[in-house]
Amino acid sequence: MLTGTQFNGMQFNGTQPASIALSALPIPSGPLSGLLQAARDELVALASGRGVALSVVFDMPALVRVNEAAVAAGSWEPMLPAAHPACRSLTPANAFWICGTAASGDVVTAQAGLLYDCSAQSIGDRFNAMTVFYDDPATQAPGGEWCTCTSDTANSTRGQVVWTNAGWTRPDFQGRGLFPICQRVNKLAAWLLWSPTWFISVVDPDIVPVWAERKMGPRHIDDEPAITYNQIGLKTLPMHLVRFSRAQFLGDLAQLAADLARAA
């Protein structure tokens, strides 16, 4: 485990590798402990039933290597700079990724969780300023790169905000329902680490159906793609904002736990 990592005040000491298996993800004591443990165990079982073991990894350069290999294989595009340690200072205090490995040991699915302090500026303001992508856009962003956000929801979203980002599944593992499982694991890990105010994602128009409530749980999704990012070297991306409140997140976990209880 990683020296200095904390889950809601619980300190873990040790050395690399900087990861923890989902099945060993600590659940703090308190009124939500039963719900959180039941949801964690159900997510472990759901992923295992699809041939995948999930872990929370704090080594962000390792995610870059997974991305680069998948780009070379033609199954992923270069990930957004938000999750790239060359563009932002990423530490266990603000970043992790969910790693899914097959029995072979190959990484077959990945998804990042990124924390933003939006107490002074909304997440929409930070998209407009491009500080979601770079620590210092003025010096780091290539010339001609820009982002605009006209989403009323994004522009009113303040507090501690987690952006679930950089999602990928290897083609031979697609169609197994891993994406919604990893989304829930991502939010669960973020909750245990940081107890954020909001969870967000951005969605290309052609994959909006993937984010249907019956698949992803209760959420808000903008009707229009109100965030546009012009990334140099890649296409201009129009994106819909998706937002989960704490109540929606916890309600979804409660539904997951209830489904488990009925199946038992």
pLDDT for residue 16 is more than 70? no
Residue with the larger pLDDT of the pair 5 and 44? 44
Residue with the larger pLDDT of the pair 81 and 16? 81
Residue range 5-263, CATH number: 3.40.630.30
The span from the CA of 113 to the CA of 207, in Å, is 19
Average pLDDT for the chain: 92
Per-residue pLDDT, 18: 84
What are 211-232's pLDDT values in tens digits?
999 999 999 999 999 999 998 8
Per-residue pLDDT, 12: 45
Give the C-alpha distances (Å, rounded to integers) separating 164 from 15, 33, 114, 189.
26, 23, 6, 11
pLDDT for residue 14 is more than 90? no
What are 156-175's pLDDT values in tens digits?
999 999 999 999 999 999 99
Give the C-alpha distances (Å, rounded to integers) separating 41 from 160, 188, 216.
26, 11, 18
Residue closest to 59 by CA, chosen among 104, 118, 3: 3
DSSP bridge partners of 160: 117
Mean pLDDT of 138-144: 95
Mean pLDDT of 88-113: 97
Question: Quick one: what percent of the chain has pLDDT higher than 90?
Answer: 87
Question: Quick one: what percent of the chain has pLDDT higher than 70?
Answer: 92
Residue closest to 58 by CA, chosen among 10, 114, 136: 114
Three-class SS of residue 119?
coil
Per-residue pLDDT, 131: 98
| Residue carrying the six token digits 């199954």 | 75
Cβ–Cβ under 8 Å, residues 94 and 60 = no
Cβ–Cβ under 8 Å, residues 147 and 228 = yes
CB proximity list for 88: less than 8 A, separation 6 or greater: 81, 82, 95, 133, 134, 135
The model's confidence at residue 2, banded by pLDDT at 50, 70 and 90, is very low
The model's confidence at residue 5, banded by pLDDT at 50, 70 and 90, is very low
Residue with the larger pLDDT of the pair 5 and 196? 196
Cβ–Cβ under 8 Å, residues 100 and 107 = yes
Cβ–Cβ under 8 Å, residues 166 and 76 = no
Burial class of residue 8 in the structure, from the number of CB atoms within 10 Å of its CB (0-12 exposed, 13-18 middle, 19+ buried): middle
